[in-house]
Structure 1
Amino acid sequence: MTTQPGFYIPHGGGPCFFMDDPQGMWTGMEAFLRGLSDTLPEAPRAILVVSAHWETDGFRFTAAERPPLVFDYYGFPPHTYELRYDVPGSPALAGRAASLLRDAGLAADVDAERGLDHGVFVPLLVAFPEATIPVVEMSLDRSLDPALHVAAGKALAPLREDGVLILGSGMSFHNMRAYGDPRATEPSHDFDRWLADAATQPGPARAAALDHWAQAPAGRFSHPREEHLIPMMVAAGTSENAGRRVYGQDVMRTAIAGFRFD
């Protein structure tokens, strides 16, 4: 089985890719997600997605045979609550992932009831619309500790060698009050440049930099609360090699990026 990469991807705003978009705000991000599978060495055996929208005490993995969808967005058109992503789950992968974390001394368990939230099903509906590849969602630890999530990624790295694609799903800039404000553009680019520099360093240096993301230029401005950044830590932790920036665009007047870790 060919080793799959890890990615930190943007998942957009709510069900944005399935709504009218006359200004083309989401066109570039949608194109990036739609082309993601073409960049892979082969079709993944399964997909493990770390979502910004699920926080637990310790780590959790969805273990339903057919995970339902969690429509955890509000105030959008009625048709966006009728989206379907009838993808198979993988209790076996969920169990193995939890075991890998426990073997590394991290708290982890499976959840046979929990479904896939929009941080998972929205980008996957674009990237893998056929819904045939098994999907497992992973939660964030409620601490949002960067080093803990890098360690979790490191523990999960063997899954990549078994053909599992690991995606950290969030947004590299996530200040809801700043979106659309022209005053946010410059500081968002300051953080974006710092994040790209950190991501493209080898593993140990990258982990050290990411551990201090809040001290980066415009770090706290870009992430008043860091749940949309922390999925990157897991994806980055799965590799010791320098990462690559594979997506970059201004969306709502702010810099948004995506990264690949081979």
Structure 2
Amino acid sequence: MGERLPTWFISHGGGPWPWIPEMRAMFANLEAALKGIAAAVGKPRAVLCISGHWENEAFAVMHAARPPMVYDYYGFPPHTYEIVYPAPGAPELAERTAALIEGAGLSARLDDEQGFDHGTFVPLAVMYPEADVPVFQVSIRRDYDPAAHVALGRALAPLREEGVLILGSGLSYHNLRLMGPEARAPSSAFDAWLTQALALPPAERLEAVLNWEKAPAARIAHPREDHLVPLFVALGAAEHEPAIRDYHEEGLFGGVTASNFRFG
């Protein structure tokens, strides 16, 4: 068994921002934070990304040796639909991961078709620009059930001692219909609650997260919680370890507050 790696929940930004100069400038602090994760971890055996952009009825594990690209964004310049992040997949680790999930009493399947969505290839291109670390994904479940995704994280926890970096990739605020100055109050309120909740002792923290809909501005910050669900997994994989907010920014897109959290 090796050193136990931390897990992270990251706010992955907007669309293919590293390839658009004006957007990259807006996300300069996020870029620095992502590079800081890579510096802290070094090159892991693999990165396992749980992205808010891949949903299934049951958990699925990316199994391709050479995953294709998924351009799951709209209205961006033509060159952003030609991006290739050529990191290898991790089929053997995918099989190990599916076995861990099933061993926890959760349904899982291997998926040989799924490619890297932008919740994965965008942060990874910043963290490991040489694409020399194997990358694979586990889908979130379409029911968004908090307890099931915490349980997924618990099932994945042994991978942390096997050199696998577990990265929950979403956004701490994700309401595309309420951006700009109108997002300032709800995103700030929810982010403040989230920061306080994750600082609680483990049992209280878990209860707060499982009941996240009671948080201030919860359903304004997350009309659909697809971009919050990856946090449940990152937390479950480090359930009894402290959380540290290692990126925080106010005023993105003219008003959005967003944060990243490290567990362990």
User: TM-score with structure 2 length normalisation?
Assistant: 0.95
* Structure 2 Cα separation of the partners of residues 48 and 201 of structure 1: 26
- Structure 1 residue 104, shift from structure 2 partner: 0.7
Note if contact 1:56-1:140 (Cα within 8 Å) is conserved in structure 2: yes
- Structure 1 residue 247, shift from structure 2 partner: 0.6
State the SS of the aligned residue for 2:22: coil
Deviations 1:28-76 (A, max 9, x none): 1122112221122x42111000010011011011000011111111111
State the SS of the aligned residue for 2:184: helix
- Structure 1 residue 89, shift from structure 2 partner: 0.5
- Structure 1 residue 20, shift from structure 2 partner: 2.2
Note if contact 1:203-1:237 (Cα within 8 Å) is conserved in structure 2: no
Q: Find the counterpart in structure 2 of residue 254 from structure 1.
A: 256
State the SS of the aligned residue for 2:193: helix
* Structure 1 Cα separation of the partners of residues 23 and 156 of structure 2: 40
Query: Structure 1 runs of 4+ off > 6 angstroms?
Result: none
State the SS of the aligned residue for 1:159: helix
* Structure 1 Cα separation of the partners of residues 201 and 234 of structure 2: 13
Structure 1 residue identity aligned to 2:9: Y
Q: Find the counterpart in structure 1 of residue 210 from structure 2.
A: 211
State the SS of the aligned residue for 1:35: helix
Matched, 1:72 2:72: yes
Matched, 1:154 2:145: no
Matched, 1:62 2:76: no
- Structure 1 residue 187, shift from structure 2 partner: 2.1
Structure 1 residue identity aligned to 2:190: F
Percent identity between the aligned chains?
49
- Equivalent residue pairs, number: 260
Q: Find the counterpart in structure 2 of residue 129 from structure 1.
A: 129
**Structure 2: runs of 5+ lacking an equivalent:** none
Note if contact 1:9-1:170 (Cα within 8 Å) is conserved in structure 2: yes
* Structure 2 Cα separation of the partners of residues 133 and 203 of structure 1: 32
State the SS of the aligned residue for 2:178: coil
Note if contact 1:47-1:134 (Cα within 8 Å) is conserved in structure 2: yes
* Structure 1 Cα separation of the partners of residues 164 and 113 of structure 2: 22
State the SS of the aligned residue for 1:183: helix
Structure 2 residue identity aligned to 1:125: A
State the SS of the aligned residue for 1:110: strand
Note if contact 1:52-1:231 (Cα within 8 Å) is conserved in structure 2: yes
Q: Within 5 A, what are the aligned runs for 1:214-225?
A: 214-225=213-224
Note if contact 2:11-2:170 (Cα within 8 Å) is conserved in structure 1: yes
State the SS of the aligned residue for 1:208: helix
State the SS of the aligned residue for 1:53: coil
Note if contact 1:202-1:241 (Cα within 8 Å) is conserved in structure 2: no
User: TM-score with structure 1 length normalisation?
Assistant: 0.96
* Structure 1 Cα separation of the partners of residues 54 and 188 of structure 2: 27
